[in-house]
Amino acid sequence: MKKKRAKAKKKSGLFSLRYLLPAGFFLALSVFLLLGLNRNPNEIPSPLIGKAAPEYALPRLADAPASIGRRALTPDNGNTSAGQASADAGAGADAKGTSDNLVSSQALRGQPYLLNVWASWCMPCLQEHPQMVALAQSHRIRIVGMNYKDQPADARRWLARNGNPYDEIIVDAQGRTAIDFGVYGVPETFLIDAEGRIRYKLTGALSVQTLQDQLLPAIAALESNGQPSGNTSPRPNPAP
C-alpha cells in the first residue's frame, strides 16, 4: 500500500512539473516581450556617452551642393579652419570624388557640433532629413555629415535633390570611423561638445518628437553650461 502511495505521489509530482515548466517559460517570455515593446528602440546605450569622441581625419566630399545654413565652422585654433578650407572643398579632388583636404576631429573642437552618419542608399536617412534641414535653417548648432559607405556621386545627387543641411561633409568610405563610434547602422547622430566629448547619441531616424523632446534640450543643456552652439556668422560660398 505504501509503495502504491509513493508511486502515485511521484507520478503526481511529475505531472505537475510537466505543466509548471511550460507555464513558467511562457510567463518569462511574456515579461521579456512586454519590456521590449515598452522600450524605445532608438535608445541603445552607448559606452561612449560622456567620453571623448574617437579621433578622426577624413576627406571632404568634393563638389558638394551648397549648405542650407552656411556658417564658419571653427575658430582659428592654429590649424586651417574648417570654414576657410571648405571654400576649397573641390580643390585637389581625386577620382573617387573626395578632397585631399582632410577634416579632423581636432579642428572641429571649440564649439559643439552634431555628427550625423548618413548615406544616400539609407531610407531612414531620407525620413529624418526634414528635421536635419530645419535644424540647419535654425542656425542652432553646427552639423557635420559623415557619409557612410557611399558613392560620392550618389551622395552629391542625393544632397542636390533633398538639400544639404551640413556645414561639413566627411567621407567614411570603408566605415572604419563609424566602427570606432560604435555605429549599429545608419542613420545615427551624436552630439559632441566643445571639448570633443559625446553628450548624446540617437540610433535611427531623428523624428520631430525626438528633436523636440531630446535633441534640442540636450543642445540647450550645453548652451546653459557656457558652450554656445549657434553661430550665425556667414561663411562664403565656394568660388565658382
The mean pLDDT of the chain is 77
1-19 confidence digits (pLDDT tens): 555 555 555 555 555 545 5
pLDDT of residue 187: 98
Collect contacts of 207-214 with beta carbons under 8 A, ≥24 apart: 207/128, 207/131, 208/131, 210/42, 211/131, 211/134, 211/135
Give, in order, the Cα–Cα distances in Å from 8 to each of 14, 16, 17, 90.
Answer: 10, 12, 14, 87
Distance CA 7, CA 1 (A): 10
**What pLDDT is recorded for position 91?**
46
- Is the pTM higher than 0.85? no
Per-residue pLDDT tens over the stretch 204-231: 999 999 999 999 999 999 988 866 555 4
Backbone angles phi, psi at 113, to 5 degrees: -150, 160
Cell 530645419 belongs to 134
Distance CA 217, CA 184 (A): 24
Which is more confidently placed, 139 or 32? Answer: 139
Radius of gyration in angstroms for the set of CA atoms belonging to the chain, rounded to a whole number = 25
DSSP string across 28-91: HHHHHHHHHHHS-TT----TTTTSBPPP-EEEEETTPPPBTT-------SSS--HHHHHTTTTT
pLDDT tens digits, 154-173: 999 999 999 999 999 999 99
What is the C-alpha separation between 240 and 118, in angstroms, rounded?
27
- For residues 210 and 94, is the Cβ–Cβ distance under 8 A? no
| Mean pLDDT of the region 191-200 | 97
**Cα–Cα distances in Å, from 155 out to 173, 186, 217?**
11, 14, 30
CA distances from 183 to 149, 175, 205 (A): 12, 9, 13
